[in-house]
Structure 1
């Protein structure tokens, strides 16, 4: 079985040409779990896979990460085979924020009779959740305001930080099994995002060597990050992942 991470978009909220920061964990070349639902990212998803996502993890609700939800709702709600079956894994503190951001609109259909959440299967996430028989971990990161943004770990394969300042204490716990670490990093940091100086100061060389950086401001900034010796993701790039060591569900016995 082959695992990979495909970057649908790698830019910050202003870098439209780089796409909204969104990715897909692939298994044997097929989408397994999508991370976030930005507008440009969802367009890239459709272009790549010829369909809409079946399962998504939501890191936080800034619009470059959730602006595609109206399109996803329409696709799922009007398809009897998908309505109520598109899985949304959402950390518990993020659920009310997501509802206010994308779900709380009077009469989601002009004709009435529909609720935004009718289109989805909402799975509220604590420290971990199960997807297709495999356990994934969620952990809070440092972005904009406490308990509003979360990272994702597929043990042994991938850690996705989402938008964040440096989180060495979290990665000491959630990236201790050789995972590839996809980390927010721009050329310059700010109170909500990591800059390359922050990254190089806060993380040991061994961990930096396992990182691939995204959420930068321009192609030129990406080149500047590479010039400092860092691995930087491009839109559409697919990166091989190790076989996960995450716990797997045992066969159910009645």
Structure 2
């Protein structure tokens, strides 16, 4: 366990990246570890940072796309049948059907001829009023704007650290938040209809806000935009990057 709470980037790449793991993170507290998203590269990404499934006490899911949830199948199987544990799953209620019925049930829904439900693998903690706590930290689950007709969320920890998850620029949200450091979805190579582009962040957020933001979920050819990012944003998020929480 950590002696102080830390927020760690275990992956900073977009879904197509070959150089980086899926854009996932880890909140490490004195009382346990909260995995923020669990994409299909999560197991290896955690291993690279010195962690395994046995170190994961809870998971929070921002939205249901493979680079954010496909690792849950492996976590579910190994936790139940190898580790004999049932991690907490902090879940916005509106994600439940999409996560279980449309994503995980096909592989987890039947074990030796017996029907299973999500709660057989995880201690499901439905989030109420977009707020929950972990390790003594107050966490707000914040609706963001990712893909049409698809629920997606970011988080704000203790009014100190903002993590957007996948989203387009959301000035109506970000401009109302109080935070000291942020990690924001940003495409750097080409404009995407479902991800923010760094130029859209520059035009949507104040200079002061941009300087607090590390860009994440970027493409492998990020160097093409390096000169435009330097000095405008806090920088590019990096795998293994650590922020100590107050």
Aligned to 2:104: 103
Cα distance in 1 for residues equivalent to 2:4 and 2:228: 29
Aligned to 2:74: 71
Aligned to 1:223: 226
- Cα deviation, residue 110, structure 1: 4.8
Cα distance in 2 for residues equivalent to 1:241 and 1:180: 11
Classify 1:159/1:135 alpha carbon distance in 2 versus 1 (closer, same or farther; 3 Å). Answer: same
State whether residues 70 and 102 of structure 1, in contact with CA within 8 Å, keep that contact through their aligned partners in structure 2.
no
Q: Which runs of 5+ in 2 are unaligned?
A: none
Is the aligned partner of 1:172 residue 2:175? yes
Spell out, residue by residue over 1:46-78, the C-alpha distance to the aligned partner (whole angstroms, 9 max, x if none): 342332122111000110111111111111111
Aligned to 1:23: 25
Classify 1:81/1:181 alpha carbon distance in 2 versus 1 (closer, same or farther; 3 Å). Answer: same
- Cα deviation, residue 42, structure 1: 2.7
- Cα deviation, residue 120, structure 1: 0.5
Aligned to 1:213: 215
- Cα deviation, residue 179, structure 1: 2.8
Aligned to 1:55: 58
State the TM-score, normalizing by the size of structure 1. 0.84
Aligned to 2:95: 94
Aligned to 1:250: none
Cα distance in 1 for residues equivalent to 2:42 and 2:48: 10
Cα distance in 2 for residues equivalent to 1:225 and 1:12: 19
Classify 1:106/1:161 alpha carbon distance in 2 versus 1 (closer, same or farther; 3 Å). Answer: closer
Classify 1:154/1:88 alpha carbon distance in 2 versus 1 (closer, same or farther; 3 Å). Answer: same
Superposition misfits of 4+ residues, deviation over 4 angstroms: none
Aligned to 2:203: 201
Cα distance in 2 for residues equivalent to 1:235 and 1:50: 14
State whether residues 139 and 155 of structure 2, in contact with CA within 8 Å, keep that contact through their aligned partners in structure 1.
yes
Aligned to 1:137: 140
Q: Which runs of 5+ in 1 are unaligned?
A: 244-254
- Alignment partner of 1:78: what SS? helix
Classify 1:225/1:124 alpha carbon distance in 2 versus 1 (closer, same or farther; 3 Å). Answer: farther
RMSD of the TM alignment (CA)? 2.3
State the TM-score, normalizing by the size of structure 2. 0.86
Cα distance in 1 for residues equivalent to 2:73 and 2:79: 10
Aligned to 2:7: 5
Classify 1:181/1:43 alpha carbon distance in 2 versus 1 (closer, same or farther; 3 Å). Answer: same
